[in-house]
Amino acid sequence: MKVSNIKKTTVIILAFALAVIVTLTMLSFGGCKKAPVIKDLNVYVWEGYLPEAAVKMFEEETGFKLNITFATDNAMMLTLLKGGGKADIVMPTQNQVNRFYEEGLAQPLNLKDIANYEKVVKALREQPWAKWDGKKMGSGDVYVVPFVFGTSGLVFNTEKYTGSTEGIGWDVLFDSILKGRVSSKNAPESLMICLDIMGIPRENLLTDTQNTLEKARPKVIDLKGSVLKFYDTGAEILDLLKNEEVWVSHIWDGGGRKLMQFNPKFKYILPKTGGFGWTDTFMIPSSAANLLGANKFIDFMLRPDIAAMLTTESGYTTTVSGALDKTTGIDKAAYEFSGQDLAKLVWQPNFSEDVISAYTTFWEEISTVK
């Protein structure tokens, strides 16, 4: 071997040895330590969606500590993120997800880390609002997982309301005999009830916002004059109905089922024109600090046994296949809808920010002025 080659070989060996020494030294002094795993997980969920037993199980199984905030409406979550607030999980309703997309507040999901995603009913997984390509919904990456599916309809205290509920519609809320004995949600959802009664398509809000709102104004004022009060929370309307201050109300189906379990005198139905259909979703904000924990949380909640706990406790049903079979102590028939009922469900369009701002302002103006 030539002397020059020996020198080169020696240099290489010495360089390699030096690299090993440096690496070992860095490890000894912690220079190559992995970034610490964030143990806190900040989640914003709707009331009734996270049973205490499920919280305990998740924390014990994963080692993450859940910091839970109950969302009161979609605007709360949106405002939080737009203002720079931190969350690892938020739960926007399907008709609101576009607002998060357009503001760059959501990130695409890595479905490889959410194995139980395959347990979500396929028809809901493939809805256009679940995907975003940066400009429009319906194509691109998956950004949300539909989790809780439900309806909004009417609940009756059949001991106080003695008329037939067969073929009844939203117009019962305007019945003069029931004045002061009815209620509806303190939210634009009650405005949509008025539009449906008047036969005005909600899509008209997209094309002719102000004129559509003005057409609805007299009906909304009539509704305000008919209700005892517009309720703010699920707990509030349950109390109003249990105390028999209110006999008939617009309500989400989870609350309706809880009332039926509480006392069979309560009856939840979908109005003849069709109830409202909605789905609350899991979304990971673009600013999430704990991506590992967020993925584990979504995957955990999509387990049939965990989803069954939610249904048993809250009265809401989930999108998770097999979850209803694992529930206990409930009348499972109450969670089933006929094909005709489902076909008549009215789904809220994905309105733009300016339309939502217009009808929210309109609702607040009417509902708060005495």
Asked whether residue 289 falls in the same domain as residue 299, the answer is: yes
Asked whether residue 162 falls in the same domain as residue 285, the answer is: no
Distance from the first to the final alpha carbon of the chain: 101
Q: At what angle do helices 234-242 and 253-262 cross, to 10 degrees?
A: 30
What's the pLDDT tens digit per position in 150-162?
Answer: 899 999 999 999 9
Confidence of residue 367 (pLDDT cuts 50, 70, 90): confident
Question: How many residues can be counted in the chain?
Answer: 370
Residue 209 located in a structural domain: yes
- List, in order, residues 6 or more apart from 33 with CB less than 8 Å away: none
Asked whether residue 242 falls in the same domain as residue 362, the answer is: yes
Asked whether residue 200 falls in the same domain as residue 270, the answer is: yes
Residue 62 located in a structural domain: yes
Do β-strands 40-46 and 65-71 pair in parallel, antiparallel, or remain unpaired? parallel
Confidence of residue 333 (pLDDT cuts 50, 70, 90): confident
Residue 293 located in a structural domain: yes
Asked whether residue 50 falls in the same domain as residue 174, the answer is: no
Confidence of residue 27 (pLDDT cuts 50, 70, 90): very low
* pLDDT reported for residue 24: 47
Indicate which CATH number applies to the domain containing 120: 3.40.190.10
Show the domain range for 299.
Answer: 41-149+278-337
Residue 17 located in a structural domain: no
Do β-strands 317-318 and 144-157 pair in parallel, antiparallel, or remain unpaired? antiparallel
Residue 159 located in a structural domain: yes
- The structural domain count of the chain equals 2
* pLDDT reported for residue 345: 86
Asked whether residue 120 falls in the same domain as residue 191, the answer is: no
Asked whether residue 235 falls in the same domain as residue 204, the answer is: yes
Residue 89 located in a structural domain: yes
Asked whether residue 67 falls in the same domain as residue 49, the answer is: yes
Asked whether residue 245 falls in the same domain as residue 364, the answer is: yes
Write the secondary structure of 114-147 as one string of H (helix), E (strand) and C (coil): CHHHHHECHHHHCCHHHEECCCCECCCEECEEEE
The pTM (predicted TM-score) of the whole model is 0.79
Residue 26 located in a structural domain: no
Residue 346 located in a structural domain: no
What's the pLDDT tens digit per position in 114-158?
Answer: 999 999 998 889 899 999 999 999 999 999 999 999 899 999 999
Confidence of residue 36 (pLDDT cuts 50, 70, 90): low
- List, in order, residues 6 or more apart from 67 with CB less than 8 Å away: 40, 41, 42, 43
Asked whether residue 62 falls in the same domain as residue 88, the answer is: yes
* pLDDT reported for residue 294: 98
Asked whether residue 186 falls in the same domain as residue 130, the answer is: no
Asked whether residue 214 falls in the same domain as residue 362, the answer is: yes
CA 154 to chain centre: 21
